[in-house]
Amino acid sequence: MYKNIRQWARIRNRILADGESIRHVAYSEGMSRPTVRKILKHLHPPGYNFQVRSNTLNVKTPKSRHFDLPQSRVLKDKLQWMEWLYTIEQQSKSRANSSIKHSELFEALYPSTNSPRTRALVVLAKLEGFSITQIARHLAIARNTARKYLSDFELGGGDMLFKVQSRQLKSDNPELKKCIFSLLHEPPKLHGINRTTWKMADLRKVLKNSGHSACDHVIRAIIKDAGYKWKSARVVLTSNDPEYREKYQHIQNILSNLKDDERFFSIDEFGPFAIKTKAGRVLVDSVTQPTVPQWQKSKGWLILTAALELSRNQVTHFYSKAKNTEEMKRMTDILIKKYADASKLYISWDAASWHMSKDLKAYIESHNEKASLDKLPLVELAPLPASSQFLNVIESVFSGMARSIIHNSDYDSTKSAMDAIDRHFKERNLHFIENPKRAGNKIWGMERTSSEFSSSNNCKDPSYR
């Protein structure tokens, strides 16, 4: 004989209050049906020392059930509940009676995969006159849960009561994502950690100190969803520039105070890449397996040099034969002529040697000396920190272009590839001319990251570069 008082009460509650069958309860509890029937005959296990209070009430048991139960106030509530529950369930079985008040609540009493039975019982019991405490006790739920169901029903009726509310995952929190990637982009030593790369325990500790608590599982999910994973030191998520914060703050100050007649450019090169059959995602049946030959004869190669003007989201590009200082001078001349009506041009690029050569700096200084006489805009360099491709906004545009027209391609010549790239940027520029307010929200060609300067941004897509 079972003597666990809590198990005893749970079994009786499932049958007497919730209306479950003896067969189902016996199967789920792992006991025989005669044992369950014996539990129903006694409020407590035989031999359990239960003291009946002197102020108990004399309550007659229903004729349909003959239980030897102590007569107390709690028992009176249960008997009242049983009689009421039996009545409404008999009413719910009559499908033809559609004139019953709150008929949608009675309809919800029918068993289903995700039964809203408890919610319906809470509302019906409250309408019957039961208190919140009685309802919570009989249905084995918290009183605040019962209050929430009643509040939902008062606000929106059955639609609000039975609406399935999806729980937001912590890994979907945009503020937490932004904070995590801001930390990943900074060297750990800036936070007093004597390491060159981040580890999970250090990330969790620094996040907690900044007011964003997150476990290892949440941090891993955010990093994985963004397309990143921990690899060898060759793939760097963190800038090792000792002047990272100073350079980053300098660029932020420029952007926050950018005037209407000033332009800020993010510049970089894409390639060199070979013109041949490229792998990519393709829609096929379940039998076909797309393949790309490992050894192919190249039809040519290209280097794309491009500049993204952040305030208007316009791309200026040309094709180069090499990555050197002369190509950077060429890009500077093109931007000066194209934006001759501007007062100042800010040029931002990574720490490649040809971007920071003495010859290029001397060329820009020479231009600035005679810019006022020729009525041309001044040029100022705003270099990015070393190893910080994630801050180079043009990388986001390159990733979108590669996904749209490079991957899964098979151009027959370099001219065909150049025509496709030219058409891509022409359509993209036209889109942002017609929709200037949406430049930071909708990016042309399935670009996965918005074209905006932010320390938490991941402009260089690891899946497409």
pLDDT (tens digit per residue) in 130-185: 899 888 877 777 888 889 889 888 888 888 888 766 667 788 888 888 888 888 88
Residues spanned by the domain of 211: 170-225
Tell whether pTM > 0.75.
no
Quote the CA–CA distance of 125 and 351 in Å, as a whole number.
71
Residues whose CB falls within 8 Å of the CB of residue 61, separated by 6 or more in sequence, listed in order: 67, 69, 79
Indicate whether 265 and 390 sit together in one domain: yes
Containing H/E element for 254? helix 244-256
Within-domain flag for 405: yes
Return mean pLDDT, the chain. Answer: 78
Instruction: Please tell me the least confidently modeled range out of 113-122, 171-180, 216-225, 329-338.
Output: 113-122
The number of folded domains in the chain is 4
CA–CA gap between residue 367 and residue 379 (Å, rounded): 8
Whether residues 130 and 13 fall in one domain: no
Residues 194 and 248 in one domain: no
| 378-425 per-position pLDDT tens digit | 998 888 887 666 677 888 888 888 888 888 888 989 999 999 999 999
- The edge-to-edge listing of strands for the beta sheet with 344-348 is 314-320, 301-309, 262-274, 344-348, 378-381
Is 303 contained in some domain? yes
Q: What confidence score (pLDDT) does residue 419 get?
A: 92
Dump pLDDT digits (tens) for 280-305: 777 666 777 888 888 888 889 999 99
Whether 62 is covered by a domain: the verdict is no
User: Out of 6-20, 62-76, 93-107, 261-275, which region has the weakest mean confidence (pLDDT)?
Assistant: 62-76
Separation of first and last alpha carbons in the chain: 69
188 part of a folded domain: yes
Asked whether residue 154 falls in the same domain as residue 268, the answer is no
Q: Which of 439, 444, 447, 443 is nearest to 464 (CA)?
A: 447
Residue 45 lies in a domain: yes
Q: Is residue 55 part of a domain?
A: no
Q: Are residues 33 and 81 in the same domain?
A: no
Is the pLDDT score of 348 beyond 60? yes
Q: Quick one: pLDDT at residue 223?
A: 84
One domain for residues 81 and 116? yes
Beta-strand ranges (E) seen in 36-187 are none
The pLDDT value recorded for residue 451 is 57
